[in-house]
Amino acid sequence: MPDLQTYFARAIEAAIRELGVPDPPEVVVEPSAVSDAGDYSSPVAFRLARELRRSPREIAQELAAGVSRRPPAHTREITVTGGGYLNLRIDFSSYAPQVIAEALRDPMLLEPDPLAGVKVVVEHTATNPNKAAHLGHLRNACIGDTVARVLRARGHQVEVQNYIDDTGVQVADVLVGIRHLGLTPAPGEPYDRFCSRAYVEVCRRYEADQELVELRRQTLRAIEARDGEIATAAKELTSRIVECHLQTMARAGVGYDLLTWESDIIELGFLRHALDMLLERGVMRKVEQGRLAGCWVLPLDEGSDDDDPEQGDAKVLLKSDGIATYTAKDIAYHLWKFGVLGLDFHYRSWADGGPATSTADPQLATLDPARFGRAGEVVNVIDQRQSAPQRVVKEALRRLGFVSQAEDLLHLAYEVVALSPAAAGALGVDVSEGKSMYALSGRQGIEIGADALLDEAQRQVQAKAKDEATAAALAASAVRYYLLRFGLNSIITFDFGEALRTTGDSGVYLQYAHARACGVLQRVEPLPVPETAPELSVEERELVKLLASFPRAVAEAAESLSPSSLAGYTYRLATAFSDLYEHTERLYRVDDHAVRGLRRALIDATRATMANALTLLGLQPLARI
């Protein structure tokens, strides 16, 4: 059920209607900025002043009278302060027991999302399967994973897809290194690290070796022909790398429902069929002359089209050599995601306990196709640099007549991870230019490997963790929280010290708060919770309010697709608990059964809510460290 903040807003809205305002403005209610004023406050009277031609103060007073006639449950008093703020003070004696009971029963309780039941396909990770995942890929995966968790918590049916771009040129690069430069893994070298190394080496040699560039072209053609020894080698390489990626991401708590392979999109004719649709419906057309002569394109500046394909923007879908661009494949993929392509993959399990995967081979199919795709809404977690091609996919859907699908296709853009000068310098990058940040580059080997960072984090917490598994969970918590606490529009300028910090606003601090709560609960036996709470301390009251607002925090994170807002909530909850822990008498010394019973239940409710918040963030709650 909604919290008192929500009920207060509703009560105010009702009071506004009673004043004869048929269409009230949105009633904003927030925690009171001035704690003396109350617990929740609304400035809505200021908005109404113009329309009603009366002073905000006067309006607020009438609204206060209106709300007071039918106050929400657990209201202690309604007041007016300042120039016209309308405030509610909570009656904690009845509110606290209720909030605690609800937090322990089902912390996700909230009015259902009106969109609940809509199937949402979330695509994230989509790391090229030719090298080890680095920190940028990990940020993508953590964002996508938490978005998926939060949407599920709000009642959506969510399917997480990881798109495997296994027919791209980057795969060819590594194959060239293996087949033509004779590169092999060093003893004990993980396969994905080896491929990263091979990729860097090949890219370095292209500059001076035209023959090698030609070999890349031939290798790519062979892969695209989907036949022969090279294609088989490519399939094996990409499969092994995908397995590495799955293991890396699993360390950070990230999982998938379905792997979708680009090679299957081609083999099963998705691409051909999509191109036919684009052609038949006049969305794509051939350019006869000019710089794009021989290409099939999607014209981008509407209105000024026809006649002069030489002018203006156009996105190439089929190159003059007949090879489709990535965007063309992405259009086909998205038609499939929405279930409007008219074709389907075959499906099998990737491995025991692993995700499902697409396959082009009907003989291998073991899973029901009806389970997959057919999205009502699509969220693509892709970095901000790909905004332009994402717009093209959306526009293509719209022009094909899939207008609602185009509207329900959302590019969840986020900024990249870059390196601080210190971190870049440590990797051997020349930082004499004095730039404030340096870009990651897998091609140049300028990167922080996801596994390497998790290893380093684990090494640093090892000494203080009770065992290996705990250290691993703490390390993942530190890294994952670091990647989630930044807003999506913020470039993370990676810094080792900041990422692996265990104090303050960090994943380890959150774990510590949770473990502490568990420690208290273990030491003190539960007692009955009094129906009417005794006088609460200021720390207890703050905690009750925060617990009550958890569903609201989850809803907000879901609506704005913003993991960082949930991270912020979780941190506030942890600090509120630490505050209580520090500033109230130790629970085992409290003799008053009412105080003890209520506070123990409050701490239990905090533990439960912390555990739920941590889980949504993808951190495994630890009862002991």
Partner RNA sequence: GCCCCUAUAGCUCAGUGGAUAGAGCGCCGGCCUCCGGAGCCGGGUGCGCAGGUUCGAGUCCUGCUGGGGGCACCA
Tell the smallest beta-carbon distance from residue 502 to RNA (Å). 4
Does 8 bind RNA (CB under 7 A)? Our answer is no
Name which of 48 and 230 has its Cβ closer to RNA. 48
Name which of 377 and 383 has its Cβ closer to RNA. 383
- What stretches of 70-134 show up as alpha helix (H) in DSSP? 92-105
- Per-position DSSP letters for 278-335, written without gaps between them: HHHTTSSEE--SSTTTT-EEEE-S-SS-SS-TTSS-EEEEE-TTSPBPHHHHHHHHHH
Residue 132: partners with Cβ closer than 8 Å, 6 or more residues away: 190, 192, 193, 195, 196, 244, 248, 449, 450, 451
**Residues of this chain, 428-487, that bind RNA according to CB under 7 A:** 435-437, 439, 461, 464-466, 474, 485-487
Please give the angle made by the CA atoms of 513, 516 and 521, to the nearest 5 degrees: 130
Tell the smallest beta-carbon distance from residue 287 to RNA (Å). 8
* 157: three-class secondary structure by DSSP: strand
Does 620 bind RNA (CB under 7 A)? Our answer is no
Q: Pick from 54, 57, 272, 319 the residue near RNA by CB under 7 A.
A: 319
**Residues of this chain, 12-71, that bind RNA according to CB under 7 A:** 28-30, 32-34, 37-38, 41, 43, 46-47, 49-50, 56
Name which of 158 and 558 has its Cβ closer to RNA. 558
Does 173 bind RNA (CB under 7 A)? Our answer is no
Does 425 bind RNA (CB under 7 A)? Our answer is no
Residue 408: partners with Cβ closer than 8 Å, 6 or more residues away: 338, 375, 376, 377, 378
Which letter does DSSP use for residue 217 in this model? Answer: H
Name which of 158 and 596 has its Cβ closer to RNA. 596
Residue 322: partners with Cβ closer than 8 Å, 6 or more residues away: none
Name which of 349 and 387 has its Cβ closer to RNA. 387
> CA dist 600 to 296, 520, 547, 571, Å?
68, 8, 14, 21
* Residue at token pair 């995601």: 337
**Residue 266 φ/ψ, nearest 5 degrees:** -80, -50
Which letter does DSSP use for residue 490 in this model? Answer: S
Residue 312: partners with Cβ closer than 8 Å, 6 or more residues away: 299, 300, 301, 304, 305
Q: Pick from 18, 58, 305, 415 the residue near RNA by CB under 7 A.
A: 415
- Per-position DSSP letters for 381-449, written without gaps between them: EEEGGGHHHHHHHHHHHHHTT-HHHHHTEEEEEEPPEEE-HHHHHHTT---TT--S-EE-BTTTTB--B
Measured between alpha carbons, how far is 482 from 476 in angstroms, rounded to an integer?
A: 10
Total residues at the site for RNA (CB under 7 A)? 102
Measured between alpha carbons, how far is 584 from 353 in angstroms, rounded to an integer?
A: 46
Q: Which stretch binds RNA (CB under 7 A): 266-274, 368-376, 513-521, 612-620?
A: 513-521
User: 103: buried, middle or exposed (CB in 10 Å: 19+, 13-18, 0-12)?
Assistant: buried
Name which of 226 and 348 has its Cβ closer to RNA. 226
Q: Which stretch binds RNA (CB under 7 A): 80-88, 179-187, 192-200, 368-376?
A: 80-88
Q: Pick from 2, 24, 82, 255 the residue near RNA by CB under 7 A.
A: 82
**Residues of this chain, 193-232, that bind RNA according to CB under 7 A:** none
Does 123 bind RNA (CB under 7 A)? Our answer is no
**Residues of this chain, 519-538, that bind RNA according to CB under 7 A:** 519-520, 522-524
Q: Pick from 232, 304, 490, 532 the residue near RNA by CB under 7 A.
A: 490
Q: Pick from 75, 125, 127, 170 the residue near RNA by CB under 7 A.
A: 170
Name which of 158 and 597 has its Cβ closer to RNA. 597
Please give the angle made by the CA atoms of 583, 586 and 591, to the nearest 5 degrees: 120
Measured between alpha carbons, how far is 352 from 508 in angstroms, rounded to an integer?
A: 32
Q: Which stretch binds RNA (CB under 7 A): 102-110, 117-125, 187-195, 502-510?
A: 502-510
* Binding pattern for the stretch 565-584 against RNA, x by CB under 7 A and - elsewhere: x--x--x---x--xxxxxxx
Q: Provide the token pair at 502.
A: 């265990």
Q: Pick from 504, 525, 531, 591 the residue near RNA by CB under 7 A.
A: 504
Name which of 235 and 501 has its Cβ closer to RNA. 501
Name which of 312 and 528 has its Cβ closer to RNA. 312
Name which of 357 and 565 has its Cβ closer to RNA. 565
Q: Pick from 127, 248, 260, 564 the residue near RNA by CB under 7 A.
A: 564
Q: Pick from 165, 173, 377, 451 the residue near RNA by CB under 7 A.
A: 165
**Residue 209 φ/ψ, nearest 5 degrees:** -130, 95
**Residues of this chain, 357-396, that bind RNA according to CB under 7 A:** 384-389
